[in-house]
Amino acid sequence: MQQANVRVDGKRLWASLMELAQIGATPKGGVCRLALSELDGEARRLFVRWCDEAGCTVAVDAIGNIFARRVGRQPDVPPVLFGSHLDSQPTGGKFDGAYGVMAALEVVRTLNDLDLITEAPLEIVAWTNEEGSRFQPVMMGSAVYVGAHDLAATLAARDRDGISVGEALARIGFAGNAGLFARPARAYFEPHIEQGPVLEETGNIIGVVTGALGLRWFDVEAIGQDSHAGATPLRLRRDALLAAAEVAVELDRIAQAHQPNGRATVGAINAWPNSRNVIAGRVVFTVDLRHADEPALDAIEGAFRAACAAIGAARRVTFNITEVSAYPVTHFNASAVAAVRAGAQALGLPHMDIVSGAGHDAVNMAGHAPAAMIFVPCAGGISHNELESAEPAHLEAGCNVLLQAVLATANA
């Protein structure tokens, strides 16, 4: 049998995705399955049962990441790892994360159907708490796995009800073995819906993900002077909302100068006193800056800070800028990316190179093993939303690309 002839079972993949989506299903057709909740535990148990049934050996590490190992002909070489996460946003969809894990399972089931044993072992992984909705930080499981975050500190993080990660892991029975951390892997592949509109808009089915945008998050406070909207002439105003609006417009100009990969977003804004006839004396807003190149990201941040300084001076408004977090630009491993691209080419699927705008566990893994991702379209680019939707044929195509990339890597 030639590698190019093997195909996954798209109907089985879809059926598993739909069965999994029942756990935490919302009335609007989405999923609410917060990390380490009872529902997350239920989804984990279903996944573990399916892995058992597929002949895998399941292990759980000390942050709750689940590894389902399928033997290879060479039992002692590092495995090819692939998967994603099972947790969701509070009003999440059926595919974000779940697709990567179910696609990984489908690859193993297909190899079982074909009695095909790879040279290197394979491991499906379901990372703990990618979303960061209940416990911070995001991408928790992969970060602890690769040593980017400290285990003890992470286990002590608490949700709004005061429950710690460690307590929640114990409650659902997924506190495992720290000795599993940071094992070598031949490669890591993560299939995922794009969560953006580019594949759909360009008519591509497969996104060959070459890396991820670097990210810098800021909180910005604008301090002016609240005063009467009628009684205060323009020249005597210190309008924090107007100054914030001017920064938002200027940020768009800055990002437009760094296309196609520059992004600048003011997503949240709150004004005080937030009254229709009072000039706002205080406004707090968020700034999200991204780019595929670190020097360009530096330039964007510099222009943003300069804009605040200039607008603040002109409007007599003080800007206080606080960096909230930052992720460097990620460049995925060239060989792993090539394996994904070759898979799409071999299958004759319309594909394009794409840079992930969102963070993923693959970003953490990229520093630890040759990593790459496979994107498939989602309707309208909508994600983190109960309306998240994807075509069965596209999900099947992405799974077939994963199968090709895994076989090529595991048998190399």
Q: Applying CB under 8 A, which residues contact a second copy?
A: 194-198, 201, 213, 215, 217, 225-236, 239, 241-242, 244-246, 248-249, 252, 255-256, 259-260, 262-263, 265-271, 274-280, 286, 288, 290, 324, 356-359, 380-385
- Tell me whether residue 225 or residue 389 sits nearer to a second copy (CB atom): 225
- Tell me whether residue 381 or residue 392 sits nearer to a second copy (CB atom): 381
Bridge partners (DSSP) of residue 208 are 353, 374
- Tell me whether residue 61 or residue 226 sits nearer to a second copy (CB atom): 226
CB of 157 to a second copy, least distance (A): 19
CB of 307 to a second copy, least distance (A): 12
As a whole number of angstroms, the distance between CA 60 and CA 62 comes to 7
Q: For strand 122-127 and strand 80-85, is the pairing parallel, antiparallel, or unpaired?
A: parallel
CB-count burial class (<10 Å; 0-12, 13-18, 19+) for 99: buried
**Helix boundaries (H) for 205-357:** 240-256, 294-315, 334-346
CB of 340 to a second copy, least distance (A): 18
CB of 257 to a second copy, least distance (A): 11
Give, in order, the Cα–Cα distances in Å from 346 to each of 2, 3, 401. 12, 10, 9
- Tell me whether residue 144 or residue 212 sits nearer to a second copy (CB atom): 212
Q: DSSP letter string over 142-204?
A: HHHHHTSS-HHHHHT-B-TTS-BHHHHHHHHT---BGGGTT---SEEEEEEE-SSSHHHHHT-
- Tell me whether residue 123 or residue 301 sits nearer to a second copy (CB atom): 301
CB of 256 to a second copy, least distance (A): 6
Structure tokens at 21: 């989506």
- Tell me whether residue 30 or residue 64 sits nearer to a second copy (CB atom): 30
- Tell me whether residue 227 or residue 345 sits nearer to a second copy (CB atom): 227
CB of 366 to a second copy, least distance (A): 16
CB atoms within 10 A of CB 98: 28
CB of 212 to a second copy, least distance (A): 8
DSSP reduced 3-state for 324:
strand
